[in-house]
With several copies, the nearest count.
Chain A
Amino acid sequence: MVRVQKHAFDPGAEINAFLATVPKSGGVATFVGQVRDFKGAETVHAMTLEHYPGMAEREFAALAAEARRRWVLDGLLIIHRYGELRPPEPIVLVATAAAHRADAFAACEFLMDWLKTKAPFWKKEAFESGETWVASSADDEARAQRWK
């Protein structure tokens, strides 16, 4: 399941709800990305996530389909927020369920790596000194390439 939403979510509650859908899976891997309150020496007061409605959902659906092609999964969840967030709110939750933990781990990390370079979201951080769009990361690009 894929959800793109403005409102905050409770990661523990979402993970429990996901676990309830996969009682036959031996292993469930999850990843939670949180808003950090710092960048280098500067304090981050808030983050705004702009997104491309429609395309965001399409990309997540495509990523989910690709993960299911590559690994044997019993279930998969992606939740991604947009709008105004404050540290340390969760931005993203990815969960994958499988009979074998290797599949769950690999699919979860794959989804995060591809999501970071394909999902149409853009972060703007608010500092004391003003707002700045976050620059994309060469490391994220390199990590995504590992799965080609």
Chain B
Amino acid sequence: MALHVLYFAWVKDKVGRGEETLSPPPAVKTVSALMDWLATQSPGHAAAFSDRRLIKAAVDQQHVDHGAALDGAGEVAFFPPVTGG
């Protein structure tokens, strides 16, 4: 199943791209499991996800915890804590 994955700020810098469309295996059912799987995709991904405590996630443009289910999500984003305003 195709999943649109977005990266922002230094997560994007480390991964080396801002977005990609991936097909994680069916066993990847949560945000946390997705991070585990993404970390195996390239050295850049591994660097970006080396400390999960620094990473926030959104599923279909809603903030979620790492334990959140992906269900039929079409878009998942990973980023550091926001610093706008």
Partner of A120, one of B10, B12, B58: B58
A122 adjacent to B9 (CB under 8 Å): yes
Is B46 an interface position by the 8 A CB rule? no
Given contacts A52-B77, A55-B77, contact A122 B82 (CB under 8 A): yes
| Bound CA span A91–B84, Å | 8
**C-beta contact mask, A21-60 vs B, less than 8 Å → 1, else 0?**
0000000000001000000000000000111101100100
CB-based nearest B residue for A27? B85
A115 adjacent to B84 (CB under 8 Å): yes
B66 shortest CB reach to chain A, Å: 17
Q: In chain A between 122 and 143, which residues have their CB closer than 8 angstroms to a CB of chain B?
A: 122-124, 133-137, 140-141
| Bound CA span A115–B83, Å | 9
Q: Which residues of B contact A122 (CB under 8 A)?
A: 8-9, 79-80, 82-84
Q: In chain B between 46 and 69, which residues have their CB closer than 8 angstroms to a CB of chain A?
A: 58, 61-63
A4 shortest CB reach to chain B, Å: 10
Partner of A80, one of B9, B63, B79, B84: B84
Q: In chain B between 1 and 33, which residues have their CB closer than 8 angstroms to a CB of chain A?
A: 6, 8-10, 12
Beyond A91-B84, A133-B80, 5 additional pairs, beta carbon < 8 A? A112-B85, A115-B85, A122-B82, A122-B83, A123-B83
Sorted nearest first, the 7 A-B pairs with minimum C-beta distance are: A121-B84, A136-B81, A122-B9, A55-B61, A116-B85, A134-B83, A123-B83
